[in-house]
A = this chain, B = another copy of it.
Amino acid sequence: MSMNDEHRARLRRFRESIDNIDAALVFMLAERFKITQQVGVYKSKYDLPPADPAREGEQIERLRDLAKTANLDPEFSEKFLQFVIREVIRHHESIRSGEQNDSRWS
């Protein structure tokens, strides 16, 4: 379990690439939530249902296929999408309940 200078230097190079990718992921996620935020406002405005199981099923299938071409575990891509969608639905519900609160007091 020793960690000499060569190990540290090698791990540092790996980590620089991981850090670059993580920055890209954070900015892509931010952009994704900007769009789902607009979707949430739109759905709330027209009283459309926040979740859409048919759409989610299509997204999961599509990402599983993309994952295979990218040599990523399709199970992980599905768990990842569900993790993101849970956050989106949480946002949508808070947009909806925010509007309900407004109408309650106006």
Contact = CB atoms under 8 A, between A and B. Distances in A.
Kindly report how many copies of this chain are found in the complex they form together: 2
A81 to B, nearest CB: 7
Interface of A: 1, 3, 7, 10-11, 14-15, 17-19, 21-36, 38-39, 42, 46-49, 55, 59, 62-63, 66-67, 70-73, 76-77, 80-81, 83, 87
Given A14-B42, A42-B14, A19 B70 contact: no
Contacts of A66: 22-23, 26-27
A14 B39 contact: yes
A47 B17 CA distance: 22
A21 B31 contact: yes
